[in-house]
Amino acid sequence: MVENRHSSLGLSDEDVIQMYKNMLLARKLDERMWLLNRAGKIPFVVSCQGQEAAQVGAAYALERGTDFIAPYYRDLGMVLTFGMNAKEIMLSAFAKEEDPSSGGRQMPSHFGKKANGIITGSSPVTTQVPHAVGFALAAKINKKQFVTLTALGDGSTNQGDFHEGLNFAGVHRLPVITLVENNRIAISVPFEKQIASENIAIRAKSYGMPGYVVDGTDPLAVYEVVKRARERAINGDGPTLIEAVTVRLTAHSSDDDDRTYRTTEELERAKEQDCVQLFAKYLQEVGLLTDTLAKEIDAELAKEVNEATDYAENAPFASVDTIHEHVYEE
Amino acid sequence: MTIKKITMPKLGESVTEGTINEWFVQVGDRVNKYDPIAEVMTDKVNAEIPSSYTGVIEEVIVTEGDTVTVGDIICTMKVTEAATSVDEEPKVETKLETTTEEKETSMRHRYSPAVLRLAQENDIDLTKLTGTGLGGRITRKDVEAYMKSGKQSETAIEREPQLIREETRQPLEDDEIVPLQGVRKAIADKMTLSKREIPHAWLKVEADVTDLVQYRENIKDNFKRREGHSLTYFAFFVYAVARALREYPELNATWQDGNIVRHKEINLSIAVAKDNELYVPVIKRADEMSIAGIAKEIERLATKARTTGLDHEDMVGGTFTVNNTGTFGSVASMGIINYPQVAILQVESIVKRPVIIDNMFAARDIVNLCLSLDHRVLDGLICGRFLARVKKILQAMNKNTAFV
Amino acid sequence: MTELSYIQAINVAMKEEMERDENVFILGEDVGVKGGVFRATDGLYDQFGEDRVIDAPLAESAIVGVGIGAAMYGMRAIAEIQFADFIFPAMNQIISEAAKIRYRSNNDWFCPITIRAPYGGGISGALYHSQSVEALFNSTPGLKVVIPSSPTDAKGLLKAAIRDNDPVLFFEHKRAYRLLKENVPTDDYIVPIGEAAVKREGSDVTVITYGLMVHFAQQVAERLAKDGIDVHILDLRTIYPLDETAIIDAAQKTGKVLLITEDNKEGSVIGEVAAIIAEHCLFDLDAPIKRLAAPDVPAVPYAQPLEKEFVVDEEKIERAIVELSQF
């Protein structure tokens, strides 16, 4: 029997099973979208595969209903944990009117849903970092007890908005957590050609905040470090930078072929670090995920994904007259 | 020894004035170049300002606490040395050139869209106006002033007598001078334009419409009872012309800036008289109408012309004109083409004439069809064929073939 | 009524809005303790404290981006860019983010941010303290671009911008800051965004312009009135989206239209105004549409004769109006 790590973090058995379900749902939705893309039914997919542990672990450490997240396009696991459901993800994939993120205006995975504290995002990377800092500034000005977490990829930490945003947060000691999901590759360019420093977390030092490197394939490890960062933020101790090291199990997007820039061996190694399987293994070892339960969960989520796909595929597009709507307040 | 002025400097990008907070010098003090002479306060900065010269303070103009505009003189100095700094702004010559060459009239006939519109809407002859614009151009304001002055009708009267004076003779006292105005003037202008520009040529054919006459006689009373208006011969002719034009699109055309535009739609202009005015409303898509439909449309247009008046819409878009000269008893006439169309057909009176058929005299109903054509566009051959076609259609109309 | 300069009117507008609504806050470089390099925020730090008048790090993208975040949360952010010339690092935040937030989220999120930036030349500011950059933002649906021409409008339009639920780019003319003074109503009024204003009725030549050029045109018009040239002046006030009806009316008024911008000519705001007139007013035009603008060179040179050659001033405006009136 393996050591039970989650109890000491204050997570119940139900919590960790729920975390697992969120990770697995993200994976299954992602896989479904690839199938739909290859079947010619949806034009575009950009994946979360390999990063679900970091996303779900981080989101689980926040106060849902109070805190805000400014996610990036891979954060399917994060937004599911923040209350988006399979149907909503599929509506976005099919660009249907009911898509809560954008009503079918944006590409899939450009998440946003005010009711759930998910801040709308765009395609230019890293613009969400100053936004999250702005939310944190609002918390400080209004003396409100909430934290804002923003997530981004490793490549994005080279953008001015990363440095400008973190510096602003550091100067004003704002309650914001910056989670870098370092999958060690920015489309095709590897970490070594992107980042001059030994790691990303060390950049925190320049901005007067602590920086942590954490195993991004372990949701419990990410949960723990985000939980601590949240406490710091709420206590007025300012921002935190967290680098969760993950893997990317797919090409950058459905328009990319990663065989042109990484070897089969590299991909095989990455698959050995598949966080969904690793976490399933942990749950089996602590005796929570029995074969029966695993099958039950698998069947339940498969049904959910199927129903979501059918619903979204048959849902209506927004009427063309709506193209002029919501440019300005009406 | 010269007197130099020291002015309020511009202390900052948006600063337009400054307040003298304190003078460090008084009249008679000797100061070196760059020595501070006063403290100036603006809403961007407070600063000591230096002297621009070496010399003696001659006069302090602005008192402490006063605010003056940047560039205003604050004090003067008596300076011995030759001034090295640029103290006088170079005057840039910026006199406005108002090039109004007196008699220049190169723009006399260049009309702006606004001027043309005003002239058209108000029936103004632009040749009457004097332009005040560049090169004698008539401006919109010139036209507006002209309209306001009420000269429009006056000048219209003046013009004709002038012509008469030159060519014929002075009108006598009893003579009535009818001013050329409104519709009459428009007709005059258009007819002149047409005759001046279009080289007219003429053709005449004779058609035997005995069967058509009989057919009409048989149905006309019923028709009137049913439709409430008469079934005129003219409707049959318009019908025949519209059909023939379908086969001869060369005649269904207009002359536009040196191009010949052949029209898909067959829209027939017809002449409608009212008192001494002549209107030319249009039967749109006449080739798609039945004889009864044409009769009805003619009736509608004629009534409208006599009563409420025709709308602009009723009178535009014509592609060929059919003129019912027969109404006046005419048996032959030479029509003037309805510019910019390329042909006009005059339908003359139907008269009973003795005709030899099978070596025997027969009393037949004969009508002359007279065609005027624009010889730039059309030739006798094609027009002859067209007329032959019209004739054939008319001659074939009888109770078996024509369906009102 | 009280006499205020253009910059005082801007200061008063922010002060009143901050008193009225505690969600209004300011961030920018030097806006706090110093009260702004032009003193636009003078006294506000003392009155409202460092939490609401924030001296931000020198980083324009963060100033705008953080403002956008706070605005999405529900604050009313006023972000000051020290000079319009330095706004470009924030371009991505303005165009990709602020302008598109409402549209891309299908009305779920919106972004009530006002971005203030001093612009304009004729102040020895050389290349990087003189530019008119409005044309670069003037084809961005979702964004509103406002340029006031008088202290009264500056106060009313800035209040409207702060209360607007969409992002507003508010350009203020540096030279107007202390040059323009007038009696400004002391009450709480707004000047609606999106509406141009007729500043002078006239029958000879229509001038359509905005910002400081309106003041110059008015001065010239008063002088020319004595020579019998009657100038009609339309102040655009909001340059995006344009007030099409007002432009058409003004053009139809005289049929001779002079469009003025102090920006360089090609691709400027007035080109769009010309297009509107060309589309709608063909049969009202009595002269070709005339544009008066700065030359197509990268920016204003520092040396005075060159700067004078570059800028549009009263002399150039007068010459253009006279020429057009004579056409």
Contact with chain A for residue C77, Cβ under 8 A: yes
Q: Is the per-residue pLDDT at A128 higher than 60? A: yes
Mean pLDDT of A320-327: 96
| Per-residue pLDDT, B164 | 38
Q: Is the per-residue pLDDT at A269 higher than 70? A: yes
Q: How far does the CA of residue C25 sit from the closest CA of chain A (Å)? A: 9
pLDDT classification of B303: cutoffs 50, 70, 90: confident
| Per-residue pLDDT, B282 | 94
CATH number for position A87:
3.40.50.970
Q: Cβ separation of C315 and B94 shorter than 8 Å?
A: yes
CA distances to B14, B15, B182, B277, B339 from B187, in Å: 67, 69, 9, 8, 11
User: What chains are in contact with A, requiring at least 3 Cβ pairs below 8 Å?
Assistant: C
Interface test with C, best of A66, A123, A131, A163 (most C CBs within 10 A): A131
Inside any domain, residue B176: no
Q: What angle do CA B360, B364, B365 make, to 5 degrees?
A: 165
Inside any domain, residue B401: no
Nearest chain C alpha carbon to A101: C105
B39, B46 Cβ separation under 8 angstroms = yes
Interface test with C, best of B8, B11, B14 (most C CBs within 10 A): B14
Q: Give the range with max mean pLDDT: B125-139, B255-269, C289-303.
A: C289-303
C94-108 confidence digits (pLDDT tens): 999 999 999 999 999
Q: In 3D, which of A97, A96, A92 has the Cα closest to residue A80?
A: A92
Q: Cβ separation of C255 and B15 shorter than 8 Å?
A: no
Nearest chain C alpha carbon to A115: C108
Residues B87 and B196 in one domain: no
Residue of C61, C67, C104 lying closest to A122 (CB–CB):
C104
Residues B124 and B8 in one domain: yes
Q: Cβ separation of A127 and C57 shorter than 8 Å?
A: no
Residues B223 and B307 in one domain: yes
Q: In 3D, which of B260, B114, B278, B118 has the Cα closest to residue B182?
A: B278
Dihedral (CA of C154, C157, C160, C162) sign:
negative
**Mean pLDDT of chain C, nearest integer:** 97
A56, A221 Cβ separation under 8 angstroms = no
| Per-residue pLDDT, B155 | 44
Mean pLDDT of C275-297: 97
Contacts of C166 in chain A (CB under 8 A): 328-329
Dihedral (CA of A91, A94, A97, A99) sign:
positive
Contacts of A160 in chain C (CB under 8 A): 59, 61, 89
Mean pLDDT of B154-183: 59
| Per-residue pLDDT, B81 | 60
Q: Is the per-residue pLDDT at B88 higher than 80? A: no
Residues B97 and B243 in one domain: no
CATH number for position B142:
2.40.50.100
Contact with chain A for residue C166, Cβ under 8 A: yes
Instruction: Please pick, among B43, B221, B311, B379, the residue that the annotation labels catalytic.
Output: B379
Contacts of C29 in chain A (CB under 8 A): none
CA distances to B2, B84, B161, C178 from B74, in Å: 17, 20, 75, 20
B213-270 confidence digits (pLDDT tens): 999 988 888 888 888 888 989 999 999 999 999 999 999 999 887 788 899 999 999 9
B379 an active-site residue? yes
Q: Cβ separation of A134 and C105 shorter than 8 Å?
A: no
C40-70 confidence digits (pLDDT tens): 999 999 999 999 999 999 999 999 999 999 9
Domain range for residue A209? 5-311
Contact with chain C for residue B148, Cβ under 8 A: no
CA–CA separation, C83 and C129 (whole Å): 6
Interface test with C, best of A109, A149, A168 (most C CBs within 10 A): A168
Q: Is the per-residue pLDDT at A64 higher than 90? A: yes
Q: How far does the CA of residue B69 sit from the closest CA of chain C (Å)? A: 10
Inside any domain, residue B99: yes
Mean pLDDT of B131-150: 91
Q: How far does the CA of residue C269 sit from the closest CA of chain A (Å)? A: 20
Nearest chain A alpha carbon to C25: A141
Inside any domain, residue A68: yes
Inside any domain, residue B57: yes
Q: Is the per-residue pLDDT at B39 higher than 80? A: yes
Count residue pairs from B and C with Cβ separation < 8 A.
65
| Per-residue pLDDT, B193 | 87
Residues B80 and B191 in one domain: no
**Mean pLDDT of chain A, nearest integer:** 96
Q: Half-sphere exposure (CA, 13 Å, Cβ side) for A76?
A: 30
Instruction: Please pick, among C129, C173, C215, C232, the residue that the annotation labels catalytic.
Output: C129
Inside any domain, residue A319: no
Residues B339 and B209 in one domain: yes
CA–CA separation, A120 and A99 (whole Å): 13
Domain range for residue B309? 183-395
| Per-residue pLDDT, B162 | 39
Residues B6 and B142 in one domain: yes
CA–CA separation, B64 and B39 (whole Å): 9
Mean pLDDT of C143-164: 98
Inside any domain, residue B22: yes
Inside any domain, residue B139: yes
CA–CA separation, B340 and B258 (whole Å): 11
Residue B76 CB neighbour total at 10 angstroms: 17
Alpha helices (H) along B84-180: 113-122, 140-149, 151-167
| Per-residue pLDDT, C35 | 96
Residues B284 and B151 in one domain: no
**Mean pLDDT of chain B, nearest integer:** 85
Residue B163 CB neighbour total at 10 angstroms: 9
CA–CA separation, A112 and C105 (whole Å): 7
CA–CA separation, A51 and A215 (whole Å): 11
Q: Cβ separation of A134 and C69 shorter than 8 Å?
A: yes
pLDDT classification of B15: cutoffs 50, 70, 90: confident
pLDDT classification of B103: cutoffs 50, 70, 90: low
Contacts of A325 in chain C (CB under 8 A): 107
Inside any domain, residue B403: no
Inside any domain, residue B174: no
Out of B167, B192, B222, a domain closes at B167
Q: Is the per-residue pLDDT at B94 higher than 60? A: no
What residues contact residue A168 under an 8 Å CB cut-off, 6+ apart? A130, A133, A174, C56, C57, C59, C62, C66
CATH number for position B226:
3.30.559.10
Residues B25 and B163 in one domain: yes
Q: Cβ separation of C69 and A141 shorter than 8 Å?
A: no
Count residue pairs from A and C with Cβ separation < 8 A.
142
Q: Cβ separation of C65 and A127 shorter than 8 Å?
A: yes
CA–CA separation, A300 and B23 (whole Å): 89
User: What chains are in contact with B, requiring at least 3 Cβ pairs below 8 Å?
Assistant: C
Q: Cβ separation of C178 and B17 shorter than 8 Å?
A: yes
Query: What's the complex ipTM?
Result: 0.96
| Per-residue pLDDT, B160 | 39
Q: How far does the CA of residue B258 sit from the closest CA of chain C (Å)? A: 24
β-pair partners for B260: B255
| Per-residue pLDDT, A1 | 65
| Per-residue pLDDT, B175 | 84
Interface test with A, best of C18, C27, C51, C104 (most A CBs within 10 A): C104
CA–CA separation, B300 and B15 (whole Å): 76
Count structural domains, chain A. 1
CA–CA separation, B22 and B46 (whole Å): 11
CA distances to B57, B269, B274, B281, B364 from B303, in Å: 97, 16, 10, 11, 33
Q: How far does the CA of residue C161 sit from the closest CA of chain A (Å)? A: 13
Count structural domains, chain B. 2
| Per-residue pLDDT, B166 | 45
Residues B163 and B230 in one domain: no
Residues B96 and B226 in one domain: no
Nearest chain B alpha carbon to C35: B44
Q: In 3D, which of A30, A104, A47, A28 has the Cα closest to residue A255?
A: A47
CA–CA separation, B303 and C88 (whole Å): 71
Residues B158 and B293 in one domain: no
Out of B133, B167, B201, a domain closes at B167
Q: Cβ separation of A127 and C96 shorter than 8 Å?
A: yes
3-state secondary structure of B240: helix
**DSSP symbols for A28-86:** HHHHHHHHHHHTTSSS--B--TT-HHHHHHHHHTS-TTT-EEE--TTTHHHHHHTT--H
Q: Is the per-residue pLDDT at B101 higher than 50? A: no
Q: Which of A230-239, B4-13, C14-23, C314-323 has the lowest mean pLDDT?
A: B4-13
